[in-house]
Amino acid sequence: MFRTRITELFGIEYPVLGGCMQWITGPEFTAAVSNAGALGIMSSAMFPTQEEFRAALRRLKGLTDRSFAVNLNLFPALRPIDNRLYAEVILEEGGVAAVETSGHRPPEDIVAMLKGGGLKLMHKCVNVRHALSAQKAGVDAVTLFGYEGGGHIGDVSTLSLVPRAVDVLDVPVIAAGGIADGRGMLAAFSLGAEAVLLGTRLLMTRECPISGLVKENLLTAAETDTVPLLGSVHNTIRVIRNQAAEKAAELESAGADFQDILAIVAGSNTRSMLERGEVDLGVLACSQSVGIIHDIKTVREVLTEMVAEAEAIARRLASADRV
């Protein structure tokens, strides 16, 4: 079993975090990830008001007695959220092991609020400069998100990004982007990471609350079936290639007005796509690792098999060294 600073920090069985995914990681799925031995991370941005978020948080606490985290989204949004209000709810309700911020550097007042309340803090970013800034701000761990990943990406691969971060950071590093099995997990550990974050692999689990049609469509995808969008507005996201993504890429390449692109990539389209199974209706964040995922399993099966595979490879390599 892999024990790291991350498993100790969050009191989790496996050095694995379930990635925060908009419209997906609500209370039920977050609890499923935590109950399987990883650290589930609930999206706060799914809930437009403080009271809706409070109700979701209470529901989550009723579904698991394991550690879980909440994500505060600091990326630019069409419907801006005052994360200070959500931080207040987290502190008032209690029971949250950690808060993950993603996007811009976490504001000092929010860091002070949460740290003062005894919470552990993580920050997810796509380059080492931002990781160092987050460490300076006082976070307890940093997730480095590589170019292969689904969702908001930078321009450096996980293979290059993680060891560079490990070399310069004092806090533990979590590797994300393109990791979907034990091979990727062990590779991340060999680079110095102390946990991995999974997103796309968890989309194809039995508990994931998206249409089965979407899951089956993802199972047919290859590693070449994703596309980066919105680089022209410096907010690049990697999504599965479908009719909506191709149309958005075509408009972006032609220099179309951003509102025309937004009409396609809007979150309301994605939400409808996930709920109704209309696989070409919206854009869905998806990693290049989609090409190595071939089945739908429970979250627990995904985690136990991933760890067992990583341990088996480690033993085989150690044995080879002695020959």
User: Average pLDDT of 54-76?
Assistant: 95
Who contacts 221 (Cβ-Cβ below 8 Å, separation ≥6)? Answer: 240, 241, 286, 290, 291
Round to the nearest angstrom and report the end-to-end CA distance of the chain: 24
Cα(103)–Cα(120) distance, rounded to whole angstroms?
18
**How far apart (Å, rounded) are the C-alpha atoms in residues 278 and 103?**
29
Domains of the chain and any CATH numbers: 5-209+296-321 (3.20.20.70), 212-288 (no CATH)
**pLDDT of 131:** 97
pLDDT at 321: 61
Three-state DSSP class for residue 38 = coil
Encoding tokens for residue 137? 């701000």
DSSP per position, 143-191: EEE-TTSSEE--SS-HHHHHHHHHHH-SS-EEEESS--SHHHHHHHHHT
CA distances to 37, 166, 208, 288 from 298, rounded to whole Å, are: 12, 32, 9, 21
Q: Are 140 and 169 in contact (CB under 8 A)?
A: no
Mean pLDDT value of segment 268-290:
97
pLDDT digits (tens, 9 = 90+) for 69-119: 999 998 766 567 789 999 999 999 999 999 999 987 888 999 999 999 999
CA distances (Å), 279 to each of 18, 26, 165, 218, 241, in order? 23, 21, 36, 9, 10
Backbone angles phi, psi at 111, to 5 degrees: -60, -45
Q: Cα(155)–Cα(90) distance, rounded to whole angstroms?
A: 33
Task: Give the model's pLDDT for residue 77.
Answer: 64
User: How large a percentage of the chain has pLDDT more than 70?
Assistant: 98
- CA 38 – CA 300 distance, rounded (Å): 9
Q: Residue 291 above 80 pLDDT?
A: yes
pTM: 0.96
pLDDT digits (tens, 9 = 90+) for 215-266: 999 999 999 999 999 999 888 999 999 999 999 999 999 999 999 999 999 9
* Mean predicted confidence (pLDDT) in 168-180: 98
CB-CB contact of 207 with 298 (8 Å):
yes
